[in-house]
Chains A and B, each alone.
Chain A
Amino acid sequence: MLSDKLTSCGIADHSDIPASWPSEERLKKGPVVVVECFQEIPCNPCETSCPRQAIVVGENINDLPKVDHAKCNGCTICVSRCPGLAIFVIDVNYSETESLVTMPYEFLPLPEKGDTVSALDRAGKECCRAKVVKVVNTKAQGKTPLVTLTIPRGMEKSIRFFKLIP
C-alpha cells in the first residue's frame, strides 16, 4: 500500500521506504543502490542497464523492480538511465560522521566539485548544508548528470535533492 503522502503529494513517506532500503550489513560493505520506484508503471531500463543483473523487473515490465543488493556494487549506471529519476546510490562509509548520496540532477547551472549546497529532503525542505564531492557529466549519462554530496551520517534516508546557494 502506497502512503497517502506519496499518492497525494508525491512525497514518499516512512512507510514507503523500507521496500527499497538495503540491510545495515550491506550498507557497511560500500556504495549501494536505492530504487525508489513504488508504483507499477511499464518501464525497465534499470534492469537492462545493470551490468550485474542486480535489478530485475521481469517478464511483465509493469512489475516493480526487485533489487538484489548483494549483487549491486553501486556503480551508478542505472541512476542516469532511470526515466523516473528515482534511483540513488548511498555510501555510509565515507567518514566517521558523513555519508555520500549520489543523485541525478538535470538543471543548470551544474554545481562544481567543492561547492557547498543546501541539501533538500523529498518535500524540498532544506535540511542541512552539503559538500559536492563529485559531478559526472559525460556522454554516458545522456544529459542526466550525477552529483554526489556528503551529508551528515543518519540523513541517508532523507536527502534526495539540493539547491545551489546563491
Chain B
Amino acid sequence: MKILKYLLIINSCFISAWLNAAEDPFKSTFWEYVSEKHLEGKPYYFDDRIKVSGPDFAENSAQVPIRVDAIDFPSEQIEKIIVFVDFNPISHVLTFKPVQQVQPRFSTKIKLEKASPVRAALLDKQGNWHIGGVFIRASGGGCALPPSGDQQASLQNLLATKSHVVPRSSSTRIKLKTIHPMSTGLQAGTEEFYVNNLTVLNEKEEVMAEIEMTAAVAQDPSFNLTSDQNNQFFLVELEDSKGNKAKKRLE
C-alpha cells in the first residue's frame, strides 16, 4: 500500500513535468528548485526568442557581463522579464518591466558564485513563461568573496550616477552606472545593502522601464537600455534597501 502511494507521487511528478513539455537544456540539478522558486507555478517553455549572452568564462566573477534580448518576442505581449542564476546563493538577480518606449533588451553585470546557467524568463500577458539562458564558467567566489573594487569608495559616492546617451536614427542607446556597494551580506560582518529599484523615465516623466534588483547585481550597477524613440535625455529614479533615494538626469 505504502509502495503504491509512493508510486502515485512519483507518477504525478512525472506527469506535471511532462505537461510542461520542457526539458531544461542545461540539465541543471537545480532546475526543479529554481523553477519552483521563480516561476510562480505557471506553465513554462524554453524559447529561442529569449536570448541571453555572456562570456564563456566569467574572468571576474564579481562583474560578469550579460545581455538579455527578447527583441524577437512581440513587445505588446511582454509582462516582465526576470533573470535568475541556478547556483547563486541569491538566485534572483533582477526583474525588468518594459512599460513603454523601451526595447525588450538590456545588458548589465552580475555576480556568479560558480559556473552556472544564467536564465532570463519572460512572462507573457497570458501568464506563460518563455525561458532562455546561457551557461557561464567561473572559478568561483563571486558572491562569497568581497566584490572586487573599493566598497568604501562606493559608500562615499552612494547613488552618484554617470550616464552616456547616444541618439541613433530611430532609437537611443542609454548607458548608466550608479555607484553602490551592492553588499550581499554573505560575508561575516557585512549586511545586505543594495539598490532595489531603478526606474527609467522619459523627458515627460513617464515611466519607460522598471528594474527591481537584488544584491546579485554587481557592485556599481550598470545598465544598457535602448529607447525606441529619439530622445535627448532621460531620467532615472533610484532607491536602495535602506531607503536612500536619488533622481538623476541621463544625457
Partners in one complex: no
